[in-house]
Amino acid sequence: MFCCDGLKNLIASAGERGMSVLVYERPGGFVFNLQARAVSKEAEVRYSQTPPRLPIEGNITLATNIGLNYCPFCGTELKTLVTSSTLKQFETLANEHKRIDQRPW
C-alpha cells in the first residue's frame, strides 16, 4: 500500500506533533497533504476550549497543510499508490484523517 517506510511512518504520525501525511478523499480521487503540527490534535482541542496565556501577540499557527504529489522520501507519484487492491485501505485512512483534521470551532 505504501511506497516506502518513510511514507508509512509519516501517515502513521497523523494528528501528532511534528510532520505527517494525511489522506483525503475528494470527488476527483484521493489527495495527500504534508502537515506540520506545533501541537498534537489532542492538545489543539484542549487549547481551543481553554486558550493558554502566552507572551505572544497575535495568532499562532498550530497546524498547516500543503498539497503533496510525490513521496518526499522516494519520489513515487502518490496517486499511483491507489489501486483497486488498496482502494478500501485508502478510504479507511481518509475517514480517519478527516476526523483527525476536523476543527473543533
What pLDDT sits at residue 50?
Answer: 79
Per-residue pLDDT of the chain (105 residues; tens, 9 = 90+): 999 999 999 999 999 999 999 999 999 999 999 999 999 988 888 877 877 777 777 777 888 999 999 999 999 999 999 999 999 999 999 999 998 876 443
- CA distance linking residue 22 with residue 33, whole number of Å: 5
Task: Give the C-alpha separation, 3 to 90, whole Å.
Answer: 13
Q: How high is the pLDDT of residue 105?
A: 30
Q: How many domains does the chain have?
A: 1
| d(C-alpha 4, C-alpha 61), whole Å | 30
Predicted TM-score of the model (pTM) = 0.84
Instruction: Answer yes or no: is 105 within a domain.
Output: no
Write out the residue range of the structural domain in which residue 70 sits: 5-100
The Cα 18–Cα 40 span in angstroms is 8
